[in-house]
Amino acid sequence: MSELAFFQRAGVFTIADVVAWTGAHPAPDADLSEEIRGVAPLETAMPGDLAFLDNSKYAAALATTRASACLLTRAFADKAPAGVVALVVPDPLRAIATAAARLFPEAARPGSMFGGSGVSPGASVHPDARLEDGVVIDPGAVIGPGAVVGSRTVIGPNAVIGPRVRVGRDCCIGAHVSLQHALVGDHVIIHPGARVGQDGFGFAMGPAGHLKVPQIGRVIVQDHVEIGANTTIDRGANRDTIVGEGTKIDNLVQIGHNVVIGRHCVIVAQVGIAGSTELGDFVAVGGQAGLGGHLKIGAGAQLAAQSGVLSDVPAGARWGGAPAMPMRDFFRRVVELDKLAARAAKPGGAAGSEKESR
């Protein structure tokens, strides 16, 4: 089977273009005229490819790479083999992201899955909806009454934009996404299958049964947010659920009603955040962590994967474990448990002593 490339280059570019995009510093005598046709890892890169090195554990691959150019820090610049143009940058990962977005812009911002422009004949747009110039709507999408979609936004196939929902400009709403009771800012990407603005999980529980509490709030998604596939964000009960500017949310995340997420947070896959919890700016939450309700997570805090967070976390703290605690305390407990297990496993250890005392 012949190799199929899903992303096409935006044009013909050279190493000199990469230097201009990233502010990289090549050697004074470096030849910057060679064409860059792709981006590849060090170990598989071929002539015409751009590679990068941002982790010393991959330094050995640099010595044998066949890439035409490599983005790296100054510490590795003299280790690039002959024929590879070393491009020195402070942060190779950010530099390769910048270059890749210029080379393959369709990979950075999803487009129409139907390859169309304008409103597809197979879409259903209510007469009371308002679409600004340049909106693309794929087949099967539904735009409800009073909804507003900003210019250059793409609505994927079978997506549903509910009544009076606002979607900003330059957004990408993926296939099968549903948006209701939501206000979405500009430059927002919502990946396929995400659900935003459905009922929060609110019930007045009692021995006679559980009475549903009407959820009358909204979801506010600010600018430059990215929401992963099959993530769910419940609308507020009596105030808004808010996702702050620049926050990045992975796939399969559950965010409960009234949650407030600050700016530029990172929330990794399978995290669950219970209702009315607040995250400050630049909080990072590792995969499968669970956060209880009505908590405050301070700005810049980091929560390790699979943490069970049941109390407030101070700003800038690093917590892990279940129940979550400061990482230093968590590691200390792990070490002590290992010591206890080792003693118990020895002949005459804790287990043996217990038997002798009976």
Catalytic site residues?
257
307 and 316 Cβ atoms separated by less than 8 Å: no
Burial 6-17 (b: 16+ CB within 10 A, else e): eeebeeebbbeb
Look at the chain and count its residues. 358
In angstroms, the Cα distances linking 196 to 132, 139, 180, 341 are: 22, 21, 6, 46
Residue 158 near residue 176, CB atoms below 8 Å: yes
Phi, psi dihedral angles at 56 (to 5 degrees): -65, -20
Chain CA centroid to CA 264, Å = 10
Can you read off the two tokens belonging to residue 84? 């590879």
Listed as own residue / partner, the contacts of 266-274 with beta carbons closer than 8 Å and 24 or more positions apart are: 268/305, 269/228
Which strands make up the sheet holding 160-161, listed edge to edge? 124-125, 142-143, 160-161, 178-179, 195-196, 232-233, 254-255, 272-273, 290-291, 308-309
- 48 in helix, strand or coil? coil
In the structure encoding, which two tokens stand for residue 120, read together?
Answer: 């597809």
Cβ 203 vs Cβ 212: under 8 Å? yes
Q: Which residues pair with 178 in a beta bridge?
A: 160, 195
Q: Which residues contact 81 (CB under 8 A, 6 or more apart)?
A: 62, 63, 64, 65
| Cα distance between residue 64 and residue 55, in whole Å | 16
